[in-house]
Chains A and B, each alone.
Chain A
Amino acid sequence: MLIIECPWCGKRDQTEFSCHGEAHIARPLNTEELSEEEWGDYVFFRKNPKGLHYERWVHAHGCRRWFNVARNTLSDHIHGSYKPGETPPTIDTQEVSQ
């Protein structure tokens, strides 16, 4: 069981949250100029790293706010959470690989 820190409500059980995949995917501004392949990349293709991953989570059973989480997909260790629009925290990759 993971304990996740909601930036507003504090530490809560994982089951109060739901994860919605990779964070920081910006919608292209020149959509009419995109090729089929580029548009497909934006809509469907996601990173699937073994290790550090920045993800979007929503506190579904709590304040219902969206935020970002830096999580290690290998160990499930959560390095921290931050509000939308904030700069992702710098994570020591040495620490991640351990």
Chain B
Amino acid sequence: MNDQQPQVASGSRADAVIKTTSPAYNRKRTEGDNTLVELPWIGKINLRGNPEDSRFVEKIKSVIEVELPLESNTQHHNNSVTVYWLGPDEWLIHCKIDRVQELMAELGSQLSSIHHAVTDVSDYYTVLQIQGPNATTLLRKGCPLDLHPEVFKSSHCSQTRFGHASILLHKLDSSTFNIQIRWSYTEYLWDYLVTALDAVDR
């Protein structure tokens, strides 16, 4: 299963091998109609600022061409960018990995006179996708959130936990969820979900 290529980070000691790929890199697991897969590397930018400052909100919109979600547990997106609400003054932007540098530079220059923080967290998190008729049941194995379709609807997102790990859960449709998790917890989440998959299939 472990087919990743560990790479030596430049500038590090020759004997210090630092893995620059997520533990679940290229993994895919299918049981019945349910599939668990790690999505290709997504660019992630953490954004902080004051949503009551209209200049801040407008500048963000002008750069990413998506309205900043100001309501809790919501996300806004267009074809290339998704913005998640993380807190009353914190957001997360998902974009293509090759756009991160460009967006970081653009946000930095546009917001230079406004109180803000922009941080590249692309290699801090990875995103797993669980898809299938049992997706909600599988998530209930470790997530305390009310996942009833009338409560947690399609397009909703929420920061919560799965087992002992903090996650950002995004419901794309009734049978598809994206789970963003820290790289170092990926193995844990993967094993947990695979065990749950086996149990559901039985």
| Distance to closest chain B CB from A91 (angstroms) | 26
Of chain A, the residue at the smallest CB distance from B165 is A61
- The answer to whether A63 and B88 touch across the interface, beta carbons within 8 angstroms, is yes
- The answer to whether A16 and B87 touch across the interface, beta carbons within 8 angstroms, is no
**Contact segment of B127-135, B153-161, B172-180:** B153-161
User: Which residues of B in the span 141-178 have a Cβ within 8 Å of any Cβ on A?
Assistant: 144-145, 158-161, 166
- The answer to whether A63 and B144 touch across the interface, beta carbons within 8 angstroms, is no
Q: What are 14 A-B pairs with beta-carbon distances under 8 A? A: A8-B87, A8-B88, A9-B72, A9-B159, A10-B72, A13-B144, A15-B161, A61-B159, A61-B160, A63-B86, A63-B88, A63-B90, A63-B159, A65-B88
Interface pairs A-B: 8 shortest CB-CB: A13-B144, A63-B87, A61-B161, A61-B166, A62-B159, A9-B72, A8-B72, A8-B88
Known: A63-B86, A63-B88, A63-B90. A10 touches B73 (CB 8 A): yes
Q: Which residues of B contact A9 (CB under 8 A)?
A: 72-73, 158-159
Known: A8-B72, A61-B161, A62-B159. A13 touches B88 (CB 8 A): no
Interface residues of B (CB under 8 A from A): 72-73, 86-88, 90, 144-145, 158-161, 166
A9 to B87 Cα, complex, angstroms: 8
Known: A61-B160, A63-B86. A12 touches B144 (CB 8 A): yes
Of chain B, the residue at the smallest CB distance from A14 is B144
A16 to B145 Cα, complex, angstroms: 9
- The answer to whether B161 and A16 touch across the interface, beta carbons within 8 angstroms, is yes
The number of residue pairs between A and B whose CB atoms lie closer than 8 Å in the complex comes to 36
| Distance to closest chain B CB from A6 (angstroms) | 8
Contact of A12 among B90, B160, B166 (CB under 8 A): B160
Of chain A, the residue at the smallest CB distance from B85 is A63
User: Which residues of A in the span 39-94 have a Cβ within 8 Å of any Cβ on B?
Assistant: 60-65
A64 to B73 Cα, complex, angstroms: 13
Q: Which residues of B contact A13 (CB under 8 A)?
A: 144-145
Q: Which residues of A contact B159 (CB under 8 A)?
A: 9, 61-63
Q: Which residues of B contact A60 (CB under 8 A)?
A: 166
Of chain B, the residue at the smallest CB distance from A63 is B87
| Distance to closest chain A CB from B86 (angstroms) | 6
A62 to B159 Cα, complex, angstroms: 5
- The answer to whether A16 and B144 touch across the interface, beta carbons within 8 angstroms, is yes
A8 to B161 Cα, complex, angstroms: 17
